């Protein structure tokens, strides 16, 4: 009998490699059932997070078919919360609680709480990304042997996103390697390769920062004003109107300028003048977003301003301009995190009180 009824292992698995597999098999020797939480589960594709949750689920199914079929291994998605460890911990706790109750109750014994079950967090402290091992003191701990080898998913991705992709079967199971070979012939791969090449060249042209940017969170009658990006990075994704600070302007003025340039926001009298737009700013909600990995272009620190426009049945008119392909109003309830560029969904989530 195992010391723990359930283990919890968290990772991004971009992609799943033999180091991950070794840790999972080691954990399965110490717990009855292992819940694997797949992070970054609802994000748009980027060279850092190229595979969707369902695609990573497919990789697991090819390698751990027996464990998944018998219920010893359970996969669940977890969304990123880069600006709130509390929100991330809450989601992890909620997903684990729901998963354990659902899984255990299938055995015929109905539980309403987890107090009689032994749950442990499984993992190894490889680097600063493993800080989460200290965030769940209510669970036990299963320390696993460190991932062997000198490789990581970062190395696998770097080799993959080339004009002639390299898919190393020395660090990937045969099933995952074949999956990646097929992926390298797909349209998403070609789009990601274009973006990876853009990002590789970006520091040579612009430097690595820090850079200062602005973003406008514009709300009117339950709708938010968004642009569709016309170029890499994030071509085709939704984004907040915004851009880089000019040397001779204040941050607030930059937010207003970018809003006007990218959306041509207008009422029945024509384009709304800067002074009127400024009057719509909710100063109490202005916030800096500075997660070190918020942008793959470099160290970019953005200042977000919340514009609360007057409630009305007919929304202000907008037209895409500057480097925005289009500008449109979107109902807040219709939006999904995976539609957004960089961390713009997280900004909206915090600024608009979703």
61-79 residue pLDDT tens: 999 999 999 999 999 999 9
Residue 128's pLDDT band (boundaries 50, 70, 90)? very low
pLDDT given at position 321: 74
Provide mean pLDDT across the span 23-36: 94
- The pLDDT tens digits of the residues spanning 249-293 come to 999 999 999 999 999 999 989 999 999 999 999 999 999 999 999
* Cross-strand pairs, 213: 244, 302
Of 1.20.970.10, 3.40.50.2020, 3.40.50.620, 3.40.50.2300, which CATH number belongs to 4-183? Answer: 3.40.50.620
**Chain-centre distance for alpha carbon 225:** 21
The domain ranges of the chain are 4-183, 211-351
Neighbours of 62 (CB within 10 A): 14
Per the listing, tokens 């990573």 go with 56
DSSP lists the bridge partners of residue 340 as: 238
Q: Give yes or no for a contact between 83 and 344, defined as CB atoms under 8 angstroms apart.
A: no
Structure tokens at 191: 């789009």
What is the C-alpha separation between 210 and 45, in angstroms, rounded?
24
Say if residues 262 and 322 touch (Cβ distance below 8 Å): yes
Across the chain, the runs of DSSP E, i.e. the strands, are: 4-11, 31-38, 73-77, 119-123, 140-143, 211-220, 223-229, 238-239, 242-244, 266-267, 270-271, 287-289, 300-308, 324-331
The answer to whether 228 touches 326, Cβ cutoff 8 Å, is yes
Average pLDDT taken over every residue of the chain: 91
The structure tokens listed for 96 are: 């684990």
Higher pLDDT, 129 or 140: 140
* CATH topology for the 211-351 domain: Nucleoside Triphosphate Pyrophosphohydrolase (3.90.79)
Q: Exposed, middle or buried, 273 (CB in 10 Å: 0-12/13-18/19+)?
A: exposed
The Cα–Cα gap between 225 and 260 comes to 12
Condensed to tens digits (0 to 9), the pLDDT of residues 175-224 reads 999 999 999 999 999 999 999 999 999 999 999 899 999 999 999 999 99
Decide whether 4-183 matches 211-351 in CATH topology.
Answer: no
User: Rounded to an integer, what distance in angstroms lies between the CA atom of residue 314 and that of residue 267?
Assistant: 9
Mean pLDDT of 137-159: 82
The candidate with the shortest Cα–Cα distance to 176, out of 312, 21, 325, is 21
Rounded CA separation 196/296 (Å)? 9
Helices (H), 171-296: 174-183, 187-206, 251-263, 274-279
pLDDT above 70: percentage of residues in the chain = 92
- State both tokens at 93: 């706790």
Name the band, by pLDDT with cuts 50, 70 and 90, for residue 120.
Answer: very high
Residue 146 — pLDDT band, cuts 50, 70, 90?
A: low
> What's the rounded Cα separation, in Å, for the pair 340 and 226?
10
């Amino acid at each position: 009998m195992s010391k723990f009824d359930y283990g919890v292992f968290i990772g991004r698995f971009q992609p799943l490699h033999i180091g991950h597999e070794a840790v999972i098999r080691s954990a399965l020797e110490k717990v009855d059932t292992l819940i694997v939480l797949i992070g970054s589960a609802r994000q748009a594709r980027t060279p850092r997070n190229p595979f969707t949750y369902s695609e990573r689920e497919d990789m697991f199914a090819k390698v751990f078919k027996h464990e998944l079929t018998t219920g010893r291994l359970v996969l669940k998605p977890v969304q990123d919360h880069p600006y709130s460890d509390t929100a991330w911990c809450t989601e992890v706790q909620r997903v684990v609680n729901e998963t354990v109750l659902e899984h255990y109750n299938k055995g015929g014994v109905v539980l309403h709480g987890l107090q009689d079950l032994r749950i442990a967090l499984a993992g190894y402290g490889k680097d600063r990304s493993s800080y989460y091992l200290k965030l769940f003191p209510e669970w036990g701990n299963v320390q696993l042997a460190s991932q062997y080898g000198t490789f990581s998913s970062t190395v696998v991705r770097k080799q993959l996103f080339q004009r002639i992709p390299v898919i190393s079967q020395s660090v990937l199971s045969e099933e995952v390697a074949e999956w990646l070979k097929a992926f390298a012939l797909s349209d998403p791969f070609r789009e990601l390769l274009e973006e990876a090449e853009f990002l590789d060249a970006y520091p040579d042209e612009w430097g690595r920062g820090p850079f200062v940017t602005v973003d406008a969170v514009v709300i009117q009658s339950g709708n938010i004003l968004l642009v569709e990006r016309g170029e890499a990075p994030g071509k085709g994704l939704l984004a907040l109107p915004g851009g880089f600070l000019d040397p001779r302007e204040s941050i607030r003025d930059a937010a207003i300028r970018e809003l006007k340039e990218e959306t041509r926001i207008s009422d029945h009298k024509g384009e709304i003048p800067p002074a009127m737009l400024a009057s719509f700013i909710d100063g109490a909600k202005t916030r800096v977003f500075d997660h070190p990995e918020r942008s793959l272009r470099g160290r970019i620190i953005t200042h977000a301003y919340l514009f609360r426009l007057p409630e009305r049945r007919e929304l202000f008119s907008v037209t895409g301009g500057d480097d925005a392909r289009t500008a449109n109003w979107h109902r807040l309830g219709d939006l999904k995190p995976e539609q957004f560029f960089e961390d713009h969904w997280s900004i909206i989530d915090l600024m608009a009180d979703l």
